[in-house]
């Protein structure tokens, strides 16, 4: 989350999420190939439960502090640096791109006074334009194919996010999450201390009571916990990417 001048919290990446309206945004369009520049200065992004088996092959998975236990993919080892971001707004070759990033600039927003969700777009000149080819609405006011696809993606994301919230809170409440820090060796014998994340303690997991273990097995959560544990091997990938970047400077 980022904080606006008025104190309101905004989701990561988003500056001005605005509900799409057929009249007000009749000619509004998505810029072609706006790239991934918006990810350049971020070293971690939220990931959904169903993504963890894919995420674990590319990124270390950690959990946020507090009682939410939100799973995140670690993208970099230093502040304001995404090691998977490449020049010209591209992503590291063959690496899975988390859904949170692929969803941008669209997002769901709860409308005041009711429970309906509205499809929003980040109203930022870097990703939208007036009169462009990739319009959100057709001439008759109906949503374009682009807008319909964005709506379906956001629906799927919203459902997966709901499952992830339940999982994260249960994991945080279980006492299995412990604070950790990683000491990373980089070029010229220097070391970086990466802190502020939590992981599942394997010893505590092995000692988990049978009732909770069976409940989690029935919910289908165990494979996702193991995916998190397997992801620890990806700290080496981050170290290689950082050393490569430092060599090229």
pLDDT score recorded for residue 178: 95
Write down the pLDDT at residue 127.
95
DSSP for residue 120? E
Q: What is the per-residue pLDDT across 130-189, written as a single tens digit (0 to 9) for each? A: 999 999 999 999 999 999 999 999 999 999 999 999 999 999 999 999 998 888 877 777
pLDDT at 110 (0 to 100): 64
What pLDDT shows up at residue 8?
46
Helix axes 222-230, 210-219, angle to 10 degrees: 90
Cβ atoms of residues 150 and 47 within 8 Å: no
Q: Which residue matches tokens 């930022």? A: 124
Determine contact, residues 38/79, Cβ cutoff 8 Å: no
Instruction: Give residue for tokens 């309906």.
Output: 116
User: What's the 3-state SS for 18-85?
Assistant: EECCCCCCCCEEECCCCCCHHHCCCCEEECCHHHHHHHCCCCCEEECCCCCCCEEEECCCCCCCCCCE
- Give the domain ranges of the chain: 2-248
Q: Reduced to 3 states, what is the DSSP secondary structure of residue 223?
A: helix
pLDDT for res 112: 53
What are the two backbone dihedrals, phi and then psi, of residue 60, each rounded to the nearest 5 degrees? Answer: -65, 140
What is the per-residue pLDDT for 192? Answer: 82
How far is 64 from 66, CA to CA, in rounded Å?
Answer: 7
Q: Which residues of the chain have pLDDT under 50?
A: 1-8
CA angle 149, 34, 162 (to 5 degrees): 45
For residue 233, what are the CA distances in angstroms to 60, 62, 195? 7, 12, 17
- From the number of C-beta atoms within 10 Å of its C-beta (0-12, 13-18, 19+), residue 163 rates as middle
- pTM for the whole structure: 0.91
Query: What is d(CA 18, CA 106) in angstroms, rounded to the nearest whole number?
Result: 9
């Amino acid at each position: 989350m980022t904080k606006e001048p008025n104190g309101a919290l905004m989701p990561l990446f988003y500056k001005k999420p605005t509900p799409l309206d057929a009249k007000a945004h009749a000619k509004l369009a998505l810029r072609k190939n706006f790239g991934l520049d918006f990810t350049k200065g971020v070293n971690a992004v939220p990931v959904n439960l169903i993504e963890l088996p894919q995420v674990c092959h590319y990124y270390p998975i950690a959990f946020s502090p507090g009682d939410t236990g939100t799973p995140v993919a670690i993208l970099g080892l230093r502040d304001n640096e995404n090691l998977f971001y490449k020049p010209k707004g591209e992503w590291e070759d063959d690496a899975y791109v988390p859904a949170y990033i692929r969803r941008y600039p669209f997002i769901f927003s709860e409308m005041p006074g009711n429970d309906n969700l509205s499809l929003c777009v980040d109203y930022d000149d870097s990703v939208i334009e007036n009169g462009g080819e990739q319009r959100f609405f057709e001439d008759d006011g109906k949503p374009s194919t682009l807008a319909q696809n964005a709506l379906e993606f956001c629906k799927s994301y919203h459902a997966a996010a709901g499952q992830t919230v339940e999982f994260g809170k249960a994991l945080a409440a279980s006492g299995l999450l412990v604070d950790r820090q990683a000491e990373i060796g980089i070029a010229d014998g220097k070391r970086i201390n990466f802190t502020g994340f939590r992981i599942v303690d394997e010893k505590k997991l092995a000692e988990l009571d049978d009732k909770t273990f069976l409940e989690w097995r029935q919910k289908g959560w165990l494979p996702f916990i193991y995916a998190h544990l397997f992801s620890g091997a990806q700290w080496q990938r981050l170290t290689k990417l950082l050393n490569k970047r430092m060599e090229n400077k």
